[in-house]
């Protein structure tokens, strides 16, 4: 009996078959959840939070959906993780990676059931993944040398990425925006320089790209509305100490006039601070914290534009874009790095006034202003655009391009099948299974579009036996179509990340043979 009690009460463990089953089931459930969002005809999910305000998110971005789920199953968590990594690393393909891992596990489950050891399956998968990657490498197109072709590649990739998102209807417009924004970055993958502002009103078509930087603030009263050749001091400092605050301070005085003296002293301190700031020779002061009326008044008299409460991302980005640094002490003006831009003016978007900085130091900076019917639409539009921007900035660095529409998966599946025929032993079953999992992706794309997937995939497989075939699933006409003609392209980097991450995740879940769940901590009675 003593042997039984290794774990505390209530800690549970599952061994062998049961553990593996639990992890397979969890992982497949997650894959099935996001499966329907794959492809140009993928559906959206509504996520409703139980927190305050019952926030509603409408999205079909795999990473966003999975991030918002609270999951108890360990294997499912592994899949959520790979979608997050995919999102951070290449920005798109978050759904594909989960679906592929799920399919690999579904195939593995059948193999395990027919008494093939998980390690055999894993080594088969390893070989298959390597083979699939090589198959892609042979087929990549790289047009970096020819800038015209490369730009049209970027446009195609952007349009393909946006096809499966809400921006699908105006994808040409948004692809153009995204390509222009990324081309300005000149090869850096720092998306900080591209700012996205969301303003409800208008329709998605009214969105536009603006060079320079737009800060979502109004210009204060009695201040210059337009400044040319601006020298900007970006600061994070308290400018609200010219009045005695009621809370927090305890001052014992014996008459009202003493209070007035204290106020006077505070005011003087404030005035000195403002004089110090003005001594930097600036004509625009941007602060992250509040600016009270008194310092604002002094700034206005000196002809300096003071902007308060510049939002947090905004101010770091503003410093980056104008080439300044955020200052918090003003004693030695020579050590502070000021930002510069040619013109600061107030513009109207919809019914809001915003401040526009044009001709900024960092030439690649730009702002995309999104317009749309409601906040939900705008949030989803922003997520879609972010995906497109990530993919494009990655493609500018690694300019290898593949066709899309299930074409890469079929190419890989074909090569992997070849490999399975040559491989002796039980591994060949695993390699064959890998090929089936790969061709599940075009199957799902077709299913989501309400097409007859079995027939289409059979046709597609036949097409792919010809040399140099460019056939994929054309969801619009509902048949097998020529992807090169339709201009459906994807970035090689995204495909490679999907393939490798999914294989690694499936492998990790396959290795599990025991799940130990710890006992929950008890609450003590606090009496």
State mean pLDDT over 332-361: 83
DSSP codes of every residue in 73-85: -HHHHHHHHHHHH
Q: Which of 94, 160, 161, 423 is an active site residue?
A: 94
In the block, tokens 């030439």 appear at 363
Instruction: Output the DSSP codes for 193-244.
Output: GEEEEEEEBS-GGG-EEEESEEES-PPPTTS-SEEEEEEEEEE---B--SS-
Active-site residue, selected from the candidate residues 37, 57, 64, 95: 95
Read off the pLDDT of residues 295-321 as tens digits, 9 standing for 90 and up: 888 888 888 888 877 766 667 777 878
- Which span out of 164-173, 359-368, 459-468, 515-524 was modeled with the highest average pLDDT? 459-468
Residue 133 phi, psi dihedral angles, 5° rounding:
-65, -40
Residue 462 · residue 159 · CB < 8 Å: no
Q: Give the architecture (CATH level 2) of 213-362.
A: 3-Layer(bba) Sandwich (3.50)
Residue 211 clears pLDDT 70, i.e. is over it: yes
| pLDDT at residue 2 greater than cutoff 80 | no
Report which of residues 343 and 12 the model is more confident about: 343
What does the pLDDT average to over 38-50? 86
Burial class (CB in 10 A: 0-12, 13-18, 19+), 279: exposed
Q: What is the C-alpha to C-alpha distance for residues 480 and 489, in angstroms, rounded to an integer?
A: 16
Residue range 118-134, pLDDT digits in tens: 999 999 999 999 999 99
Task: Give the count of beta carbons closer than 10 Å to the beta carbon of residue 45.
Answer: 18
User: Is 237 an active-site residue?
Assistant: no
Instruction: Return d(Cα 356, Cα 374) in angstroms, integer.
Output: 24
Catalytic residue among 92, 170, 387, 447: 387
| Range from 31-40, 144-153, 212-221, 446-455 carrying the lowest mean pLDDT | 212-221
Pinpoint the residues of the chain covered by CATH 3.50.7.10.
Answer: 213-362
Q: Is the pLDDT of residue 525 over 70?
A: no
The pLDDT of 340-350, averaged and rounded, is 85
Nearest one of 340, 317, 62, 370 to 190, comparing CA atoms: 317
Find, among 105, 109, 324, 172, the residue nearest to 233 by Cα. 324
The pLDDT, as a whole number, for residue 362 is 67
Predicted confidence at residue 92, as pLDDT, reads: 85
Q: Is the pLDDT of residue 527 over 60?
A: no
Q: Is 94 a catalytic residue?
A: yes
The string of pLDDT tens digits covering residues 58-95 is: 888 888 888 888 888 888 888 999 999 998 888 888 89
pLDDT over threshold 60, residue 510: yes
Give pLDDT tens digits for 167-187: 778 888 999 988 888 888 776
Q: How far is CA 166 from CA 159, 372, 373, 466, 477, in A?
A: 12, 11, 12, 36, 20
Superfamily of domain 12-141+403-459+488-514, CATH level 4: GroEL-like equatorial domain (1.10.560.10)
**Tens digit of pLDDT for each residue in 97-108?**
999 999 999 999
Pinpoint the residues of the chain covered by CATH 1.10.560.10. Answer: 12-141+403-459+488-514
Catalytic annotation present for 180: no
22-37 average pLDDT score? 89
pLDDT band of residue 135 (cuts 50, 70, 90) is: very high
Structure tokens at 138: 């042979």
Q: Name every residue whose Cβ is closer than 8 Å to that of residue 367 and which is 6 or more positions away in sequence.
A: 194, 195, 196, 197, 209, 210, 212, 213, 214
Average pLDDT over residues 396-403: 87
- pLDDT for 245 equals 62
Strand ranges inside 361-505, DSSP E: 366-372, 400-403, 471-474, 479-482, 489-491
pLDDT(526) > 70: no
Higher local confidence (pLDDT), 359 or 459: 459
**pLDDT, mean of residues 345-354:** 84
Which residue is catalytic, options 36, 57, 61, 153? 61
**Is 470 an active-site residue?**
no
CA-closest candidate to residue 441, choices 35, 3, 15: 35
Give the residue with greater pLDDT, 40 vs 436.
Answer: 436
Residue 104 confidence (pLDDT): 94
Which sign does the torsion angle of CA 459, 465, 466, 472 carry? positive
Confidence grade of residue 21 (pLDDT, cut at 50, 70, 90): confident
Per residue in 409-457, pLDDT (tens digit) is: 999 999 999 999 999 999 999 999 999 999 999 999 899 888 898 999 9
pLDDT of 233 strictly over 70? yes
Q: What is the pLDDT of residue 501?
A: 93
CATH number, domain 147-211+367-398, options 3.40.50.620, 3.30.260.10, 3.60.21.10, 3.40.50.720: 3.30.260.10
What was the pLDDT predicted at 291?
Answer: 81
Tens-place pLDDT, residues 255-291: 888 878 888 888 888 888 888 888 888 888 888 888 8
Mean pLDDT, the chain, integer:
85
User: Where along the chain do the CATH 3.30.260.10 domains lie?
Assistant: 147-211+367-398
* CB 342, CB 230: distance < 8 Å: yes
Q: Which residue has the higher pLDDT, 246 or 170?
A: 170
């Amino acid at each position: 009996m003593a042997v039984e009690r290794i774990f505390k009460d209530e800690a549970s463990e599952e061994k062998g078959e049961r553990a593996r089953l639990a992890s397979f089931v969890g992982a497949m459930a997650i894959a099935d959840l996001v499966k329907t969002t794959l492809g140009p005809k993928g559906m959206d999910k509504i996520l409703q939070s139980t927190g305050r305000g019952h926030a509603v998110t409408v999205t079909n971005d795999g990473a966003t959906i999975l991030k918002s789920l609270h999951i108890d199953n360990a294997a499912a968590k592994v899949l959520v993780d790979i979608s997050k990594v995919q999102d951070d690393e290449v920005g798109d393909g978050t759904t594909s990676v989960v679906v592929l891992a799920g399919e690999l596990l579904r195939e593995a489950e059948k193999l395990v059931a027919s008494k093939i050891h998980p390690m055999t399956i894993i080594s088969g998968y390893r070989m298959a993944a390597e083979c699939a990657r090589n198959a892609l490498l042979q087929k990549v197109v790289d047009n970096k040398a020819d800038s015209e072709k490369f730009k049209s590649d970027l446009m195609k990739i952007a349009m393909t990425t946006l096809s499966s998102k809400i921006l699908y209807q105006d994808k040409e417009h948004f692809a153009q925006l995204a390509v222009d924004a990324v081309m300005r970055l000149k090869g850096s993958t720092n998306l900080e320089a591209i700012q996205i502002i969301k303003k409800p009103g208008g329709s998605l078509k009214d969105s536009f790209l603006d060079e320079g930087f737009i800060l979502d603030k109004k210009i204060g009263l009695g201040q210059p509305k337009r400044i040319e050749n601006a020298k900007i001091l970006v600061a994070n400092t308290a400018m609200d100490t010219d009045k005695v605050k009621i809370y927090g301070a305890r001052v014992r005085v014996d008459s009202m006039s003493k209070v007035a003296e204290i106020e006077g002293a505070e005011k003087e301190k404030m005035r000195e601070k403002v004089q110090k700031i003005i001594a930097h020779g600036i004509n625009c002061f941007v602060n992250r914290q509040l600016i009270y009326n008194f310092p604002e008044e002094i700034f206005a008299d000196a002809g300096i534009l003071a902007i308060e409460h510049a939002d947090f991302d905004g101010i770091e980005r503003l410093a980056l874009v104008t080439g300044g640094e955020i200052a918090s002490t003003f004693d030695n003006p020579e050590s502070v790095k000021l930002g510069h831009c040619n013109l600061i003016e107030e513009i109207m978007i919809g019914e809001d006034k915003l401040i526009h900085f044009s001709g900024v130091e960092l030439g690649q900076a730009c702002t995309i202003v999104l317009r749309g019917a409601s906040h939900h639409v705008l949030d989803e539009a922003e997520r879609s655009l972010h995906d497109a921007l990530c993919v494009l900035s990655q493609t500018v660095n690694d300019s290898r391009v593949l066709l899309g529409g299930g074409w890469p998966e079929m190419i890989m599946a074909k090569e992997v099948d070849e490999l399975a025929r040559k491989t002796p032993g039980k591994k060949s079953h695993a390699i064959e299974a890998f090929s089936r999992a790969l061709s599940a992706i075009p199957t799902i794309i077709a299913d989501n579009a309400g097409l007859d997937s079995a027939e289409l995939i059979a046709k597609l497989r036949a097409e792919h036996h010809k040399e140099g075939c460019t056939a994929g699933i054309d969801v619009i006409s509902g048949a097998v179509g020529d992807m090169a003609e339709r201009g459906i392209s994807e970035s090689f980097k995204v495909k490679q990340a999907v393939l490798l991450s999914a294989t690694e995740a499936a492998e990790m879940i396959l290795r599990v043979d025991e799940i130990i769940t710890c006992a929950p901590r008890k609450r003590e009675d606090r009496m």
